[in-house]
């Protein structure tokens, strides 16, 4: 049964088909991104929901999604979401703007768990901007999607949006480059025209981009308010968990736990990557302060198998 059917029911919330564990148990939340950008969402979720167990899956072998076709994005998104559910996830966060824009409706229709997506912060940016000029930095796929176009049209009003595809930025973050001279030069080519047009607000329309905030600040100083929606995503997840009785019970406090090492291990997210995971581990350590192992996982899908069978 699709989760939307459960959502529309007037009967008490019933959790169907997602996990053998009962609602409100310690079942994990699955967070998925095409690569490393979803770590910005994971950071916000850990802060808002410290008692929840988390599984993070990075499809870095096939990143970036922003340069893939729509069918490939949908194929991989559904495959990885289904894999996370098979790992017992009670709720999913598609922490990728590109995957959300192309595939969120299909994921919600197919899966019997809450599925929270992400979208660029157009509405808060339109509210925030004083000059009424807003820059939007996102992947080309996100910017061309019908979902994004509808969102922008709803909030345009007297506000002008400058849409800029962030070619090369996801790749930079994937290789843990957040401040090289080459990266700053690329960012400058995207941000400076916005400043020249009197923009005072910049929407970070990809979950990779919050890791570039310091580099953006080195170019724009205080002239741009940066809009990152990861905190709003965590709050929406919290509302969904509470609504359907899926919230984890509070963990024991540390003074109640004899084995502190074991307690800390329980609290750490589990990380998986479809490539070797080195960049994921490095970024988790440098930007989140998490020294964790990253397990390699093979998640087959129709389009991925097609790529692997192609001659080099």
Q: pLDDT digit string (tens) for 121-169?
A: 999 999 999 999 999 999 998 999 988 999 999 887 889 999 999 999 9
Residues of each annotated binding site: 33-34, 65-66, 97-98, 207-208
Examine the fold and report which residue of 197, 227, 257 is the final residue of a domain before the chain moves on: 227
Residues 9-66: tens digit of each pLDDT:
222 222 223 333 444 468 999 999 999 999 999 999 999 999 999 999 999 999 889 8
pLDDT at residue 307 in the model? 65
Q: Based on the domain organization, do 13 and 148 belong to the same domain?
A: no
Alpha-carbon gap, residue 186 to 171, rounded angstroms: 12
Alpha-carbon gap, residue 239 to 233, rounded angstroms: 10
Domain CATH code at residue 127: 3.40.50.1860
Q: Which of 81, 96, 159, 176 is catalytic?
A: 96
Q: Based on the domain organization, do 176 and 129 belong to the same domain?
A: yes
List of residues 6+ apart from 81 with CB closer than 8 A: 30, 32, 92, 94, 107, 110, 111, 115
Q: Based on the domain organization, do 183 and 240 belong to the same domain?
A: no
Structural domain of 103: 3-118+230-309
Alpha-carbon gap, residue 156 to 239, rounded angstroms: 28
Residues of each annotated binding site for substrate: 33-34, 65-66, 97-98, 207-208
pLDDT at residue 262 in the model? 44
pLDDT at residue 66 in the model? 83
Q: Based on the domain organization, do 256 and 220 belong to the same domain?
A: no
The pLDDT of residue 260 is above 80? no
Contact (Cβ atoms closer than 8 angstroms) between residue 19 and residue 90? yes
The structure's pTM equals 0.80
Q: Based on the domain organization, do 220 and 234 belong to the same domain?
A: no
Alpha-carbon gap, residue 138 to 133, rounded angstroms: 16
Concerning whether 159 is annotated as a catalytic residue, the answer is no
Q: How many domains does the chain have?
A: 2
The pLDDT of residue 233 is above 80? yes
Instruction: Select, from the ranges 212-216, 251-255, 284-288, the one with the highest average predicted confidence (pLDDT).
Output: 212-216
Of 155 and 263, the structure prediction assigns the larger pLDDT to: 155
Q: Based on the domain organization, do 102 and 238 belong to the same domain?
A: yes
Distance set, CA 110 to CA 3, 18, 61 (Å): 8, 11, 24
Residues 54-107: tens digit of each pLDDT:
999 999 999 889 889 999 999 999 999 999 999 999 999 999 999 998 899 999
Average pLDDT of span 262-286: 83
Q: Based on the domain organization, do 9 and 96 belong to the same domain?
A: yes
Q: Based on the domain organization, do 107 and 27 belong to the same domain?
A: yes
Contact (Cβ atoms closer than 8 angstroms) between residue 35 and residue 43? no
Q: Kindly indicate the confidence band of residue 305, based on its pLDDT and cuts at 50, 70 and 90.
A: confident
The SS3 call for residue 57 is strand
């Amino acid at each position: 049964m699709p989760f939307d059917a459960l959502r529309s029911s007037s009967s008490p919330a019933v959790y169907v088909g997602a996990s053998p564990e009962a609602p409100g148990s310690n079942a994990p939340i699955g967070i998925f991104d095409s690569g490393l950008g979803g770590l910005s969402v994971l950071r916000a979720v850990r802060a808002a929901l410290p008692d929840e167990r988390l599984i993070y899956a990075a499809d870095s072998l096939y990143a970036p999604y922003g340069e893939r076709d729509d069918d490939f994005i949908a194929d991989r998104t559904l495959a990885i979401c289904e894999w996370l559910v098979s790992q017992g996830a009670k709720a999913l966060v598609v922490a990728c703007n590109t995957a959300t824009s192309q595939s969120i409706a299909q994921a919600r229709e197919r899966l019997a768990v809450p599925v929270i997506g992400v979208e660029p912060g157009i509405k808060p940016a339109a509210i925030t901007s004083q000059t009424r000029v807003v820059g939007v930095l996102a992947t080309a796929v996100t910017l061309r999607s019908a979902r994004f176009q509808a969102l922008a049209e709803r909030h345009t009003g007297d506000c002008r949006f400058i849409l800029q595809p962030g070619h090369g930025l996801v790749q930079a973050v994937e290789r843990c480059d957040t401040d090289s001279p080459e990266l700053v030069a690329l960012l400058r080519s995207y941000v400076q025209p916005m400043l020249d047009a009197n923009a005072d607000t910049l929407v970070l329309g990809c979950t990779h981009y919050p890791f570039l905030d310091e580099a953006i600040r080195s170019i724009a100083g205080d002239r741009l308010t940066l809009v990152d929606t990861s905190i709003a995503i965590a709050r929406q997840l919290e509302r969904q968990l509470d609504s359907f009785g899926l919230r984890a019970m509070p963990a024991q406090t540390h003074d109640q736990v004899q084995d502190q090492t074991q307690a800390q291990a329980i609290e750490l997210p589990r990380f998986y990557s479809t490539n070797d995971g080195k960049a994921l581990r490095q970024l988790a350590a440098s930007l989140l302060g998490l020294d964790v192992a990253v397990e390699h996982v093979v998640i087959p899908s129709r389009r991925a198998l097609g790529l692997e069978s192609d001659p080099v």
